[in-house]
Amino acid sequence: MILHTFKKETKELWRDGRVRIAFFIVLLLTTIAVFISTNHYKNVNEQYVEASANEREVWDNQGEKNPHSAAHYGTYAFKPKYPLSLIDQGVDKYTGTSIFLEAHNRNEAQFIAASDQTGLARFGDLTPDFILLFMIPLLLILIAYNSITKEKERGTLTLLNSQGAIGWKIVLGKWIAIFFPVSILLFVLFISTGLLLSNLPDFGVFSWSSLFALFVTYMIYYAIFINLVLIISASVKKSGIALVLSLSVWILICLVLPKMASNLAEYKYPYPTRQEFAANVAKDKKLGLDGHNPWSKAAKELEEQTLKEYGVDSLSQLPFNYDAYRMQKGEEHEAEIFFKHYNYLKTQYSNQNGIYQTLATVSPYLPTRFLSMAIAKTDYNTHWDFSDAAENYRIETQKFLNDHFAKESKLGEWGFKADAGFWKQLPKFNYEPPSLSEIMKTNTSSIIIMLVWFIGSFTLLFFTTKSL
C-alpha cells in the first residue's frame, strides 16, 4: 500500500507542470547561490591569507623600538572563514572580521560587511542557507498542500477507504513521495559542496562529518515541515484553504517569530551602546591601576607591596625595571576590567538566547537556524570564541613585551629600545575553532527542541490521519 501510494504520488508530482517548474527554479537558484558563495569564499580566504601575512611582516619589521611603543602600535587578528560558510553564511555579515590588539585596550571586531552594503542587504542574500531555510520549505508546501485535500475533493478518499486502505499507510506513502525529491535535491547539493570544498586548495578545517551533521539537520527540518503541511491538509476540506493556511504557518515560523524573538530579546536584555560601553570601562579603569600613572593610589600600593616582597628599600634596587613591571600589572588589571565588561555582554546574549530557545518551541526554524550556523562555524558563539582567543593572545603579547622591557632595561630608562630582531620572537596568533563535538555540546538545547518537534509532529500527524 505504502509503495503503491509512493509510486502513484511521485508519478503525479512529476506530471504536474507547476511542481516541475518550481523544482527546477529552486535547483537553478541553488546552483547560482553555490557558485556565488564559492567565489566569495575564495576571495575572502585569499584576502585573509594576504592580510595576515602583511600584518605579520609589518610587525616583524618594526626596527628598533621601545617594547611599549610596539605594544601601542599593536597588531591585528584576522578572523578566518570556514569551509561550511559556503552553505550557511550565518551571522558572518554582521560581525567584524579584524580585531586590533593593542596595549591597555580590548577592541571589538571592526568592519561589519553589512555596513558596507546598501539597505538591500537587509532583505537577505542569495546564498544556499536562504534557499535551504526559506525556499525549500515553500517548495514542500507547494508539493504537499493538496495531497490529502485533493483526495477529499475528488472523492477518491472514499474509494480508497472502501478498498480497505488504512489512513496512516496512505499518508506514509504520500509522505515519502514528498520527501523523496527534496532529499535528492539536498543530497546532490551537499555532495557537490563536499566535493567542491575538498578539491579547493587550502580548504582548512573542512570535515565530511560536519557536512553530514548539517545534512541531517536540514533533513529533520524538512520532515517537520512536511508533517505540518500534511496535518493541515488532512484537517481542512479545500485545497485553497490548505494552501493559504500552510503558507501562513510558513510565514509565522520563518519570518514573524524570529523577528518577534529578536524584538523581545532586545527589549528585555539590551546591549549597551558602543559609547556607553566605553564609558563604563573607562570609569572602572580610572578607579584602578593605570600603568602610565605612578602617582595614583593604586600605584603607590603596588610600589610598597613590591618593595616588601623583594625586601629592598628603593625601586632602583629591584632586579628589573619597575616601570615596565608596573605597566604589566596595570595591563593585567585592565584585562580583568575588560573581562568583566565583555562577560556582561555575554550574559546579556545568553539571556537573549534563552528567549530564542523559548520561541523555538513554536518555530522549528529557530533551532534549525542556530544549529546550522553553529555547525558551519558562522554563528555568534564561534565569533565570541574567536574574540576571546584574540584577547588571550593580546594579553600574552603584552606580557611578552613588558617582560622584555622589565628584564633588559633599568628604572626610568624610557628610551630603551628592543633589537630589531626581537619582534620575530613573538609567537604567531593561531586560532582553533571549536570542534564538531564541542559545538554539539553547546547546542544541545537546539538539538533537543528539534527532536521534540520531529517526534511531536509525527505523532500528531499519525493521530490526525489515523482514520481519514
Partner 1 sequence: MLRYNFKYEWLLLIRNRWIQLLSILLFLLFGFAVYNGNQKVEARQANIETAVNELKTQEAETLSVLDSLEKGHKVSVSRWRLPSRPVVIGNSLSRVVNMPAKSTAFIATGQSDLFSHYVEPTVTGDDLSLSYTEMTSPVQLLFGSFDLAFVIIYLLPLLIIAFSFNVLASERESGTLKLLASQPIRIRTWVLQKLGLRFFWLVLCICITLIIVFAIFSFHFAANWTSLLVLLAYIIVYALFWFVLAFATNIWIHSSAKNAIALIGFWVLFVLLSPSILNQLSNSLYPMPSRTLMLNQVRTLKAEATKKQDEILDSYLRDHPEYAINDSTQTRNFYHRYMATQNLIKEELRPVVEKFETQLESQHQWAHTFSWLSPALTVQNALNDLAGTSEKDYQEFRHQSLAFAQEWRNFFLPFMFNNQEFKKSDYKNLPAFEFTYKKDATHLRILGLLGMSLLIILFVFVLKPKNKQVNIVA
Within residues 383-402, the interface with partner 1 by CB under 8 A covers 383
- Determine the Cα–Cα distance for residues 177 and 183; give it in Å rounded to an integer: 10
When asked if residue 76 is in the footprint of partner 1 (CB under 8 A), the reply is: yes
Give the range of 51-59, 178-186, 210-218, 432-440 binding partner 1 by CB under 8 A: 51-59
Stretch that binds partner 1, among 239-247, 323-331, 391-399, 415-423 (CB under 8 A): 239-247
Chain mean position to CA 157: 46
- Residue that is written with C-alpha cell 595591563 in the block: 331
Q: Which set of grid coordinates corresponds to residue 208?
A: 565530511
Please report how close the Cβ of residue 308 comes to partner 1 at its closest, in angstroms.
26
118, 162, 199, 437: residue in contact with partner 1 (rule CB under 8 A): 118
Residue 273 near partner 1 by CB under 8 A:
yes
Q: Which of residues 2-31 bind partner 1 (CB under 8 A)?
A: 18, 29
Report, in Å, the least distance between residue 273 CB and partner 1. Answer: 5
Does position 36 interact with partner 1 (CB under 8 A)? The reply is yes
465 contributes a contact to partner 1 by CB under 8 A: no
- Separation between Cα atoms, residue 219 and residue 10, nearest integer Å: 19
C-beta of 234 vs 265, nearer to partner 1: 265
**Stretch 342-361 residues interacting with partner 1 (CB under 8 A):** 345, 348-349, 352, 356
Instruction: Give the sign of the dihedral formed by CA 205, CA 75, CA 345, CA 297.
Output: positive
* Euclidean distance between CA atoms 442 and 448, whole angstroms: 12
Instruction: Kindly state the cell numbers that stand for 48.
Output: 585573509
Asked whether position 48 contacts partner 1 by CB under 8 A, the answer is: yes
For partner 1, how many residues bind (rule: CB under 8 A)?
Answer: 86
Nearest approach in angstroms of CB 78 to partner 1 is 6
Is residue 287 a contact point for partner 1 (CB under 8 A)? no
Stretch that binds partner 1, among 3-11, 142-150, 392-400, 402-410 (CB under 8 A): 142-150
Between 168 and 380, CB nearer to partner 1? 380
Buried b (16+ CB within 10 A) or exposed e, 304-321: eebbeeeeeeebeebebb
Would you say 168 or 370 has its CB closer to partner 1? 370
CB of 54 to partner 1, least distance (A): 4
Interface of this chain with partner 1, residues 243 to 272, rule: CB under 8 A: 243-244, 247-248, 251, 255-256, 258-263, 265-267, 270-272
Among 237, 295, 313, 427, binds partner 1 (CB under 8 A): 295
- Per-residue contact string for residues 306-345; x = within reach of partner 1 by CB under 8 A: ---------------------------------------x
Among 34, 84, 132, 138, binds partner 1 (CB under 8 A): 138
Binds partner 1 by CB under 8 A, chosen from 45, 95, 227, 382: 95
Q: Which is nearer to partner 1, 189 or 355 (CB)?
A: 355
54 contributes a contact to partner 1 by CB under 8 A: yes
Q: Which of 79, 62, 212, 237 is nearest to 145 (CA)?
A: 237
| Least separation in angstroms between CB 428 and partner 1 | 16
Residue 140 CB, nearest distance to partner 1 (Å)? 13
3-state SS, one letter per residue, for the chain: CHHHHHHHHHHHHHHCHHHHHHHHHHHHHHHHHHHHHHHHHHHHHHHHHHHHHHHHHHHHCCCCECHHHHHHHCEEEECCCCHHHHCCCCCHHHCCCEEEEECCEECCCECCHHHHCCHHHHHCCCCHHHHHHHHHHHHHHHHHCCCCHHHHHHCHHHHHHHCCCCHHHHHHHHHHHHHHHHHHHHHHHHHHHHHHHHHCCCCCCCCHHHHHHHHHHHHHHHHHHHHHHHHHHHHCCCHHHHHHHHHHHHHHHHHHHHHHHHHHHHHHCCCCCHHHHHHHHHHHHHHCCCCCCCCCHHHHHHHHHHHHHHCCCCHHHCCCCHHHHHHHHHHHHHHHHHHHHHHHHHHHHHHHHHHHHHHHCCCCHHHHHHHHHHHCCCCHHHHHHHHHHHHHHHHHHHHHHHHHHHHHCCCCCCCCCECCCHHHHCCCCCCCCCCHHHHHHHCHHHHHHHHHHHHHHHHHHHHHHCCC
At closest approach, how far in Å is the CB of 7 from partner 1?
24
Nearer CB in complex with partner 1: 10/262: 262
Q: Judged by CB under 8 A, does residue 420 bind partner 1?
A: no
**Binding segment (CB under 8 A) for partner 1, from list 170-178, 203-211, 235-243, 454-462:** 235-243
In angstroms, the CA 163 to CA 324 distance is: 90
Between 187 and 271, name the residue whose CB sits nearer to partner 1: 271
- Is residue 279 at the binding interface for partner 1, with CB under 8 A as the rule? yes
114 in contact with partner 1 (CB under 8 A): yes
Stretch touching partner 1 by CB under 8 A, among 92-100, 330-338, 388-396, 447-455: 92-100
Does 166 engage in binding with partner 1 (CB under 8 A)?
no
